[in-house]
Structure 1
Amino acid sequence: MDLYRERLWATPWLFISTLLVIPAVILVFAPINLAVGIVLGIAFYVAFVVFLLATAPTIRVTKEELVAGRASIPLRFVGEPRAFRGDAAVLERGQRLDARAWLLIRGWVKPVVKIPVLDADDPTPYWLLSTRNPDRLVRVLDEARLAS
């Protein structure tokens, strides 16, 4: 059973802005065959939308582990998480970022949660996760850590 679950879907503006691929492809193929250009433009856009939907990662917290994308970590190795928004989140993703950190970052999701890794055998100092609900993720992680 998931205590927390969030899918990092792309924002609507990304789907809208990529509609520009349709006229771009039509312009390329119009001198050859306009119908082919229209069909390929729509096909390219549909392929891009499918790609965005299929690759949207999920963040889950269960009673035993934190799962972010394809990675997971038992809660016994999870330290006290911290939420960052605005300029602080930009700094965590940029100037303050440790190159050894494990990242699940999406440019269209600005807030992040920094989760220390307590496993002495793991060279990763922390996980940095994009999330639309940083305060809720921190609260659920804290409750799940203390309960385990």
Structure 2
Amino acid sequence: MQDNLDHMGEKKVILREVIRPPLWILAFIYLMFLSLVVAVWAAFDNRAAIFTGIAVTVLLIFIAFAMKSEITIDSQEIHIGKAHIELKYLDSVEVLTPAQMQLLRTRDADPAAYLGIKFWISTGVKITLKDPRDPTPYLLISSKKSEELTNTLYKLL
């Protein structure tokens, strides 16, 4: 009986992409934090600077986890971060070049669109929706695996 319960709600993951912040972003943030540590050290004492250094290191680890994003496709839904939508509401999928992605992020952006973008990734996918109850026209998703994501979605649509 327990085995049946474990497998009833389980969906097979078909594609999973984890997007983490690159090292250069984390290094830049940490250098900014270290300037704060130096300012605390100059204004107070060594103990305050050590405490601040430990605090900003922990904060950087938290920021690294918070900046992480995940795209998951199973047999019924696509999950982009905390957002998800059933595959039956997807109309078309388009791989975007860096130039197309730049335009859709800026000048050609629709304010009602869902943006699952990361500024450090220049390629992505535009997924047009066909749900008449949802005012969201499309999902704009940053992805390093744009071709694989598009091919997987076309197979499931």
- Tell me the TM-score normalized by structure 2: 0.85
The structure whose residues are more often strand, as a share, is: 2
**Equivalences for residues 9-48 of structure 1 within 5 A:** 9-30=20-41, 31-48=43-60
SS at match of 1:110: coil
Q: Contact 1:62–1:144 (CA<8 Å) still a contact in 2?
A: no
Q: Which residue of 2 aligns with 1:59?
A: 71
Q: Greater Rg, structure 1 or structure 2?
A: 2
What residue ranges of structure 1 are gaps of 5+ in the alignment? Answer: none
Distance in 1, Cα, partners of 2:33 & 2:102: 33
**Equivalences for residues 101-116 of structure 1 within 5 A:** 101-116=113-128
Structure 2 residue aligned with 1:91, among 103, 116, 122?
103
SS at match of 1:107: coil
Q: Contact 2:30–2:60 (CA<8 Å) still a contact in 1?
A: no
Q: Which residue of 2 aligns with 1:127?
A: 139
Q: 1:71 to 1:26 in 2, by over 3 A?
A: closer
SS at match of 2:92: coil
Distance in 1, Cα, partners of 2:106 & 2:66: 27
- Tell me the TM-score normalized by structure 1: 0.90
**Residue identity (%):** 25
Q: Which residue of 2 aligns with 1:5?
A: 16
Coordinate RMSD, CA, aligned: 1.5
Q: Deviations over 1:19-65 (max 9, x none)?
A: 21343122221231123213312321331222221441211111111
**Runs ≥4 residues deviating over 6 A:** none
Distance in 1, Cα, partners of 2:55 & 2:153: 41
Distance in 2, Cα, partners of 1:44 & 1:57: 22
Q: 1:85 to 1:49 in 2, by over 3 A?
A: farther
